[in-house]
A = this chain, B = another copy of it.
Amino acid sequence: MKERLKEQIDFIDKYLDKYLAEKENPQNIIYKAMRYSVFAGGKRLRPILMLNVCKMCGGDVNEVIPFACALEMIHTYSLIHDDLPAMDNDDLRRGMPTSHIKFGEATAILAGDALLNRAFEVVSEYDGDNVKRAMKAINMLAVSSGTEGMIGGQIVDMESEGKEITLDELRYLHLNKTGAIIRSACTIGALMGGGSEDEIEAVDEFAKNLGVAFQIQDDILDVTGSEEELGKPIGSDAEENKNTYVRLVGLEKSRELSEEYSENAKKALDIFGERAQFLKELTDYLINRKN
């Protein structure tokens, strides 16, 4: 699995490199800052999901690659802004200085803005035959990263820090903060891949469950992982008073829940038969990861 993922990451990175090509003009530093964070060693989970869902639905990955890269840009911008002093105030991410440490706060804010903006530049360059479908996909992308998606979840996360929240509230938070763009990665992949309405719905069910399982695993790793593997201090969630599954239901129950959600995710793909094999294996791989 690691090797197959490496191959896909290289494919995605080739396009990200092209879409984020540096320009030799007076604003050159913004390109450097955007590239620094995008090429800081991300797992490319969202683009990988999109490409493989597209393939599973019988589509052409060239149709979705701009969307896959856009989603990675959006994911990266959210990390840059999350790390800012006024937000989580993190100095390190994946073992490297965060954007505002490396480039200063003003440039980090603008680099985040620029990545969000660039995402929509890239997808609106579409000039294929399915322009109506592409327009719909742009809308799904935008909604998932907005106030009823990722940004909404970030606000709720911020507001709930240091407060006791319920499991339902935690689920709502994650369904938006990390879940929304994992879902749009999958549903855009299905839509642009030519999937039927039933298939898009199945893929959405898969993504919804995978997103929760993935998040729980993140919370578990913050407690059980090693600093070297994670690239950040262990126990930082607890220290920052973050609401996590481990804090709310304990480690053992968290493991059970993660298992349960990942089983539901895989089950949702049954209608694709053999074609779902890679995504099912990927689900297991993600839930057993160490970083």
Contacts and interface: CB of A to CB of B under 8 A. Distances in A.
A105 B87 CA distance: 8
A100 to B, nearest CB: 8
A229 interface: no
A109 B126 CA distance: 30
Nearest to A173: B26
A121 interface: yes
Given A81-B113, A152-B25, A146 B126 contact: no
A interface bracket (residues with beta carbon within 8 Å of B): 35 or more
Give the interface SS of chain A, mostly helix, strand, loop or mixed: helix
A61 to B, nearest CB: 21
Task: Tell me the number of copies of this protein.
Answer: 2
A127 to B, nearest CB: 8
A132 B110 CA distance: 30
A113 to B, nearest CB: 6
A117 B147 CA distance: 8
A156 B27 contact: yes
A47 to B, nearest CB: 19
A266 to B, nearest CB: 30
Contacts of A197: none
A76 interface: no
A23 interface: yes
Interface of A: 23, 25-27, 29-31, 34, 77, 81, 84, 86-87, 100, 104-107, 109-110, 112-114, 116-118, 120-121, 124-126, 131-132, 134-136, 138-139, 142-143, 145-148, 151-156, 158-159, 169, 172, 176
